[in-house]
Structure 1
Amino acid sequence: MERTLLLVDDEEEIGAALARLLRSDGYTILRASSGIEGLEILAQHEVGVVISDQRMPEMSGVEFLTRVYELYPQTIRIVLSGYADLASVTDAINRGAIYKFFTKPWDNEALRADVQEAFRRYELKRQKEKLLHDIQGANVLLSQINLELAAEMEHKDSQIERIAHYDPLTDLPNRLLFLDRLDQEIARAHRDNQMVAVMSLDLDRFKQVNDSFGHPVGDELLQIVAGRLAGHVRECDTVARIAGDEFGLLLADIKATHYAGEVAQKILDSFAHDPVTIGDSEIYVTLSIGISIYPFDGINTTALLKNAAAALHHAKHEGRNNFQYYAGQMNASAWRRLKLETELRRALEREEFVLHYQPKADLQSGKVVGMEALLRWQSADRGLVAPGEFISVLEETGMILPVGEWVLRTACKQACLWQAAGFPDIHIAVNLSAMQFRQPDFASLVLGIMRESGLEPALGVIELELTETVLMHNSAGTLDTLRKLHEAGMRLSIDDFGTGYSSLSYLKRFPINSLKIDQSFVQDLPVNPDDEAIVAAIIALGRSLGLGLIAEGVETEEQLARLRRMGCNQMQGYLFSRPVPAAEMTYLLQNGGGLDLPLEG
C-alpha cells in the first residue's frame, strides 16, 4: 500500500529538511505552505499522515489539524510545536484533534519512528473500517461468518491498543502509558504517604553509534538496553521508552530516597562492566541519569518529569556516565539555557550576527597575507557576545547549519567589497563545524555560494578551515567532499593541529594545503621544551609535505622570534591584531596592512 505523507510548513527550509529525512523511508511526500493549501491537497489525495507546523499565518497548526480531524478523521495528525504552544497543543490532543506532537528542534530518529507508527495506526484503522463494512455486508450470510469477522475486528482493536501504549521497537511501555502509570502511582503514594522516584535515562553519544555502525545496529542496541533496564526493576516498577534513546524509569512505593540512587548506580555499573556485543562489534555503552522524587521534587506528573529532565541535563554537564538527583537551581539553569536558545533563534532573522576578522601576517615581511572570519553575536540585550558563550548551543540545536551558511555568504560578500576597493589579494579563512560538513552534497553548497557571490573558487579568496575531528569522522564521505572542493581549487586548512586525532595517514589521504599550529603549543613555547619540540615537529612535518604553516595565538615577541627561527610561515594573534570588525580591517588594509615586527637579532 502506498504511504502518502503531507508536510505543512510555511518555512521552506524546515519543510525541505523534513522531506529529506522522511523520503528515505519510502513515503510519497506532499507539501503545503499553509493550512488552506493543505486542505486543498487533502481534498485531492488520500493522505495517511499529516505533519503540520504550529505557527503559521492565517491558520495555526492546531486550527488546521482540527479541521482535518473533522473532514478526514482517519488521517493521523502530528504537530511540530514550540514550548510556548504547549497549552493549545495539549487541549487539541485531549479533544482528539492531534495524535502526537514534537517540539522543535526534533529528534530525527524519534520522528521517523513515530511517523512509521502513525502509518501503522492509520492502516489498522482502515483495515478496521473495511472489516466493519464486511460485517455489515455479511449480515445476510451465515451467523458463523459474522462471528469470525467480529473476532477479527476485535483483534485489530487489540493491535491498535497495543500500538497506542507500547513502543514497537523495544516492546516497552511508551510515553503515553508511562505517564498514565505515573499518575496512578502519584495518587497511590499520596493516599498511602509513600514516595515515588522518576528517572530520566539517556544513552551517551548514541548518535555516534548510528553514524559509525548504521541504524540497524543502533536499533538492536536500543533493544538490548531496554532488556537490561527491565532486568533492574521490580514487577511493580515501570521501564518505558520515551523517545529516541531516552528511557523513563518509575520506581513505585520506595521507602527512602537513596534507593533510587542505588538502582541508578547498579544500572551504570552493569553497562560499565559488560559491553554490548552486536555481531562482530563490541560497543561500550554509558548512560546519564536524572532522578526526581515525589513529593519533594514535585507533586504532579509534569513537575516530576521536568525536574528529572533537568537532573539528566546536569548529569550530562558533569561528564556523562553518572546519575544526579534534582536540585532546585537546575530549573533556573535550564530556563537560562532555553532563553539563550530562543534569543539565538531570533538573532539570525534580526541580523544580530556579525563577522570580525583577525589578520594573518607573514613572519618575514610582517605584511597581512590573509585573515580569519570569526563569528560574533551583537545581541540587542546582551551586547557583544563572545563565541564561547553560544557556539556550543548552535551546535547542539542544529542552528549552526543556517548560521554557518550565513557566515560563508557574508565572508564572500565582504571579500567582493574589498576586491572592489582595490585589494585583489584578499584571502579569508572560514571555519566549518562537523555538523556542516556532514550535510548531503556539502561541496556543491559551498561552491554554489561562492559562484553566486561572483568568486571563482580556484582563486583562493576563500579558504576553509576544518578541525581534525571533522577529518576523522566518516572518512569515506569526508574524502569525497574534500576531493570535490580541492578539484574546484578551494584551499583547505587543518585548524588547531595537534589537539585532536592527529594522524599522518589523513595528511597523506586528504588534499590539505596548510596546518594551523594550536595556540596551546605556542603559549609556553619560549619556556617549555616539550612545546618547542612539538612545534618543531609540526613545522618539519608541514615543510616536508609542502604545506603552509600558521601559528595561532602569538602574543609576545619571544614567541614570534622562536617561531621565526623555527621556519614557520605565518602567524596570527594579539601581537599583530585582535579580531576586528570589517571597517577596522579595511582601515588596516588601506594603511599598508603591515606590522612593524621586530627584526631578527
Structure 2
Amino acid sequence: MDRTLLLVDDEDNVIASLVRLLRQDGYRVLTANSGKAALEVLATHSVGVILTDQRMPEMTGVTLLEKARDAYPETVRMILSGYADLTSIKAAINQGAIYKYLTKPWDDETLRADVYSAFLQFELSKKRTQLAYEIDEANKQLALINHELVMKIDEKDRRIDRIMHYDGITHLPNRSLFVERLQRALAYAERSGKSVAIMMLDLDLFKKINESLGHPVGDKLLEVVAERLQGSIRKEDAVARAGGDEFCFMMSDFSAIYEVSDKAQAFLNLLSMPFLIEGNEVFISFSIGISIYPVDGMDTTILLKNAETAMYHAKSEGRNNFQFYAEQMNASALQRLMFESNLRRALERNEFILHYQPQIYLESGQIFGVEALLRWQHPQRGLIPPSEFIPLLEETGLIIPVGEWIFRTVAAQIKEWQNTNSSILRVAVNLSAVQFRQAGLGEMIVSIMNEVGLDCASGCLEVELTESLVMKDVEGTISVLQMLHDVGMTISIDDFGTGYSSLSYLKRFPIDTLKIDQSFVRNLTIDQNDVAIVTAIIALGHGLKLRVIAEGVETVEQMECLRAMNCDEMQGYLFSKPVPADEVTRLLQQGGEYLLKKRCM
C-alpha cells in the first residue's frame, strides 16, 4: 500500500534529517518549507499523514493543520516542534485538528513508531469510510428490494383475494362474497324495516351447450351472460356467480313486490336475445326462483335455499319463467326425497359404475394411470352425471358405503389389469370431505387391497383430495395424510390453485402430486394471468419434489404450452373422455403414444 507522508518545516536540515529517517520505512515522502507550500502540495497529492513544525513564518503549524482538517479530513495531522503555544495546541487537539503532538529533539525509534501509528490510523479511517459507503449502498439496495417485495406481496394478496372472492370465468363475485354482502343487506333491512329480494338464476339446458359446442364456448357464454347481468343492475344491487351455470342476484331498496317481478321479467327478456359466441349464435333461457326477506326467511341460508327451491319449481313449470317461493313448493321437496330414496337403493341394485379417464406423460405420451370417476346408471333416466347425485351422497352420508364400493371395484380392476399385463401403474380415487374424516379410512383401504392381493406399497393406488379440503383442520389433515402415506398410498391435491393454501402448511403435507385445476388450463393460450399462475404452480411443485399434472387439457395448443412449462403429466378430452374399463384396456393395447399423436395430427 502506497503511504504518502508530507513533512513541513522551514529549516532545511530538519527536513533532510526527517527524510533520511522516515524513507527507510518505505514511505513516499513529500516536503514543504511553509504552511502555504504545504497547502499547495495537499491540493495536488493524496497525503495520508502530515508532520509539521509549529513555529513557521506566515502560518503556524496549528493554522496549517486546521486548514488541512477542513479540506482533507481523513489525513492524519501531527505537530513536531521544539516550541509551541500549548494553549493553541490543546485547543487544536480538542477540536480534532491535531492527532498527536511530538517534541524536538525527537527519538528516532519513537518518531518512527508514531508515524507508523498515524498511518494505521489513516488506513483505518479510510476503511471505515469505505465500509460506511458500502453499508449505505447495501441499505439502498435492500430498501429497493424491500419495496419490490412489498409490491409483489401486495399484488399476490390482491390476486389471492380475487381468487377467494371472485369467479375466474365471469369475474363476478362468487357465492362466498355474495353471502357476505347479503348478510350486510339483511342487517340494514332489519334496522330500517325494509325488504330484500333474492333471486337464483339458472341457465336452462346449459349442459347441452357444453356437450355440443364444447366447454370453451360454454365458458364464454357464462362470461357474456355475466356482462349482461352486471350491466343491467343498479349500484345498490348485487349479482354473483353461485357456481356452475347458476347466478345469484340481490335486490334491495324496493317498495312493492311488482318491482321484483318486473326485474325478474327484465332478466328473462335481456337473456332471450341471442348470444354470438365464436361464430355460433346461441339461444338460452333462464329459470329464476325468488325469495323475499323477511317473508320467506330471516337468514341467508334459508333465503338462498328457498330461492333455489323456487328456481327448481320454475324449471319444472317449463323453464324460461320465474317463480316466487311458496309453501306449496314442498312438492319439489317430495321429488327430492324420491330421488334420495332411489339413490339409497342404487348401491344394492348395482346401478353405480366406474369410468376411468387416462392420465399420460407429457414427454412420452404414454398412459401411466387413470382417474376413477363415479357414474349412476339410473334405470329410467339413464346415465346421471355426478354433479346431480354426489352432493346428495355426501349430504346423506351415503358416500361412506359408496366410497367403500369404489375402492373395492378399483382394487379388483387394478388386479385384473395386472393379471393381463396391462401397463396401468396407478389408479386415482377422489375422496370427499366426509370420507376423508371417517374413522378407519386407511385400515379399510388396506383391508380391501389385501383381500384382492394388491401390495399397498406398490403405489398402484392414489387418493385425490381438493385443495380446500386439506386446508380445513390442517393438523387433523396432516395426521390422516400421514396415515395414508404410511400404508403406501400416493396422495394428490386436486383443483390446486382454486383454494387458499398456506405454503408453510403445504410443505408439511406428505403429498406426491399437485393437480392444476382445469380453470387455469382452459385459457392457457390466451390469458397471461393463467400462464403466470400455471408456471408458478409447476415451479412450486417441482421445488417441493412433487409431480405436477394438468387436468382439462382439450387442445394441442394447451398441451404444447404445458410441455414448454415442464409440466409432468396431463389428462383431458384431448386424449380421452372418462370411459369404461374395457375401453381403457383397448387404449393400452393400441398404444397411448400412438393415439395421442393421431389426435394431434
The normalised TM-score by structure 2 is 0.47
So what's the TM-score if we normalise by structure 1?
0.47
| Larger-Rg structure | 2
